[in-house]
């Protein structure tokens, strides 16, 4: 997690989705950026950005 200031942060989440049959699942790699905003009750997700991981 990277703090942008004391009330907002961003974190980077690599995600591997496995779909299809358990014997031969397709594996899809995604990158997810999560922007969080601190509020009185705690943190909330303010935005999600996704991109296909082409590595």
Q: What percent of the chain has pLDDT over 70?
A: 100
Split at pLDDT 50, 70, 90, the class of 55 is confident
Closest-CA residue to 37 (of 50, 47, 27, 24): 47
User: How far apart are alpha carbons 22 and 36 in whole angstroms?
Assistant: 34
Its domain, for residue 32, covers 2-52
| Chain-centre distance for alpha carbon 8 | 15
Question: Checking DSSP bridges between strand 2-5 and strand 26-39, what pairing results, if any?
Answer: unpaired
Instruction: Give the per-residue pLDDT at 1.
Output: 87
- When divided into structural domains, the chain yields a total of 1
Alpha-carbon distance values, 19 to 28, 34, 37 (Å): 8, 23, 32
CB distance 50 to 34 below 8 Å = no
Is pLDDT at 15 greater than 80 in this prediction? yes
């Amino acid at each position: 997690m990277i703090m942008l200031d004391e009330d907002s942060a961003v974190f980077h989440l690599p995600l591997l989705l496995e779909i299809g049959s358990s014997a031969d699942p397709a594996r899809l790699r995604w990158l997810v950026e999560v922007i969080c905003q601190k509020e009185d009750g705690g943190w909330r997700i303010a935005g999600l950005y996704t991109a296909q991981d082409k590595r």
